[in-house]
Amino acid sequence: MSVSNATRADRLIPVRAVMIAFLALALSPSPASAFAPAVVSVIHNFSLGADYEDPSLVYLDTSVWELLVYESSTSMVYILSPSGRLKYYFKVDVADPAVLFAAPNGDIGLVSRAGELSLYDYRGNFIEKKHLRNGSGTAVTGGHYSPDRKAVFFADYHSQAAYGVTLNGDVVFMKEGFRRISDCVYQGGKVYVADQGGYSVMIYDADQGVLIHRFGRAGGKPGTFSLINRVYVSADGNVWVSDVGKRTLEVFNPTGEFETELFLPGFRSAAFVNNIMYVSSNVLKAVTVYRIK
């Protein structure tokens, strides 16, 4: 569906100032906390109207500087400018997607929890659907498209394994033996795996598959894990881990040392570019843009 200039103004609804104030309060460390001050500041945030209930996935296509947002309650994919200006949107037929991305040729891909890859063109026309890997029983709990745009890295709960698979189905990475895997991401020649059962993040050499480092321990205090979900790596090499048990985003430096903890209610997904972070929330029903300090 295209968006006319008149319609766009009606649909693009800025979040109220009180919500921004709430976010600033939420990101401020508790007086009882001993960890460092928040390392992000709010630039702005945006919603797309009454139907924008659960913006569950976000992806920033830096080749054309467009932000993709998947809204799960309506199964809609929104294409926006990085500042939140709505360009286009369309409905997809994908059951509970876990990964959203833009391929090098501009096609938009979604990976379902069952491991099926669905491709659509920029205008929402369906292209094809196929399994990312052969076999049955795949249960994708999380994943990300690699920054070099060569493979989808995802966590398979059924086999308790992390995979890197190209869009042609070639397996470029595979590691098994996790206790309760929830996510994996490729960045800078390394694969970062979130393991709920081990309360840890495992870092592997992407080519050799050997374990380089691991960090994390169980707990409810800042820097510990209760129920980790998604893992991200920002441009500076810091590791950002969402914890749905504590409703926080835990931040670690590249060596795994704890930096700070951010309270983000309703956190669903994030995307990073340079010192900017996009976060979607089903509590705020919005996408918030942060500057990383």
Structure-model confidence comparison of residues 46 and 77, the more confident one: 77
Indicate if the pLDDT at residue 284 is higher than 60.
yes
Looking at residue 142, which CATH number applies to its domain? 2.120.10.30
Indicate if the pLDDT at residue 10 is higher than 90.
no
What percentage of the chain reaches a pLDDT higher than 70? 86
Query: One-letter amino acid identity for 31?
Result: P
At residue 38, the pLDDT reads: 52
- Is there a contact between 203 and 179 (Cβ–Cβ < 8 Å)? no
First to last CA, the chain: 37
Of 175, 156, 173, 177, the closest CA to residue 165 belongs to 173
At residue 50, the pLDDT reads: 76
Q: What are phi and psi of 5, to 5 degrees?
A: -60, -40
In this prediction, residues 225-237 reach a mean pLDDT of 96
Lowest mean pLDDT among 21-25, 84-88, 185-189: 21-25
Q: How many distinct structural domains can be found in the chain? A: 1
Q: CA of 155: how far to CAs of 47, 62, 164, 173, 218, in Å?
A: 29, 24, 9, 11, 21
**DSSP line for 72-124:** TTTTEEEEE-TT--EEEEEE---SSEEEEEE-TTS-EEEEETTSEEEEE-TT-
Structure-model confidence comparison of residues 251 and 132, the more confident one: 251
Indicate if the pLDDT at residue 13 is higher than 60.
no
pLDDT band at residue 4, thresholds of 50, 70 and 90?
very low
Indicate if the pLDDT at residue 27 is higher than 80.
no
Q: CA of 277: how far to CAs of 40, 206, 290, 291, in Å?
A: 9, 25, 5, 6
Q: What's the pLDDT tens digit per position in 134-176?
A: 766 689 999 999 999 999 999 999 999 999 999 999 999 999 9
Of 236, 141, 243, the closest CA to residue 187 belongs to 236
Q: 108 CB contacts (<8 Å, ≥6 apart)? A: 68, 77, 100, 101, 102, 119, 120, 121, 122
pLDDT band at residue 108, thresholds of 50, 70 and 90?
very high
Of 211, 205, 144, the closest CA to residue 173 belongs to 205
Average pLDDT, the chain: 87
pTM of the full structure: 0.86
* Whole-number Å distance between alpha carbons of 18 and 16: 5
* Whole-number Å distance between alpha carbons of 187 and 55: 24
Q: What's the pLDDT tens digit per position in 47-98?
A: 877 778 999 999 999 999 999 999 999 999 999 999 999 999 999 999 899 9
* Whole-number Å distance between alpha carbons of 231 and 240: 6
Q: CA of 141: how far to CAs of 30, 34, 89, 162, in Å?
A: 31, 33, 25, 10
Q: Identify the domain containing residue 256 by its residue range.
A: 5-292
Indicate if the pLDDT at residue 17 is higher than 70.
no
